[in-house]
Amino acid sequence: MELSKILAPQAVKVVASTSSKKRLLHDLSDLAFVAYGLPAAETVEALMERETLGPTGVGNGVALPHARLPGVESVVGAFILLEKPIDFNSIDRQPVDLAFALFAPEDAGVEHLKALALVSRTLRDASVCAKLRANPDAATIYAILTEAQSVQAA
């Protein structure tokens, strides 16, 4: 599995600031609508429902919100770099500025987990996160994410 197969270039965005975790989930849902045609209202509802099970802020400024949705044919992602970090109830209590959302089919068992593991591994790399934070340009961020994953695989 490759990030370039999950993440479309138009599903990457830099946001100057957002007011809350809920607003960030809305922004990710809007991005998924633009990039993949996923219904934004259902998408944000699914993300917020998943958050009630436990926050998806995994630490070091990274959040990995994810949800299963009807009508999704394969696992897809959306990435937002926040220029101003926000509280996300992360496990390390650090504010989040890197958010990678995953949207999977309702019946995507292993594929969903493989995608989540891939994104998690990529964003656990401190050098990748540093590059993402230093390059607030969507096209550059897409290149960093997809290049980082292929380098890790080698």
| Residue 151 clears pLDDT 60, i.e. is over it | no
Report in angstroms the alpha-carbon separations of 140 from 9, 12, 112.
Answer: 10, 10, 26
26 catalytic? Reply is no
Catalytic pick among 13, 21, 66, 112: 66
Say what the pTM is.
Answer: 0.93
Query: How many CA atoms lie within 13 Å of 100's alpha carbon, on the beta-carbon side?
Result: 27
Query: How many CA atoms lie within 13 Å of 135's alpha carbon, on the beta-carbon side?
Result: 16
Q: Which fold has domain 3-153?
A: Mannitol-specific EII; Chain A (3.40.930)
In tens, the pLDDT along 38-71 reads 998 999 999 999 998 988 999 999 999 999 998 8
- Helical axes 126-134 vs 110-124, angle rounded to 10°: 80
What is the rounded CA–CA span in Å between residue 39 and residue 30? 8
* Average pLDDT across the chain, whole number: 90
In tens, the pLDDT along 97-132 reads 999 999 999 887 788 889 888 999 999 999 999 999
Contacts of residue 107, defined as CB under 8 A and 6 or more positions apart, other chains included, come to none
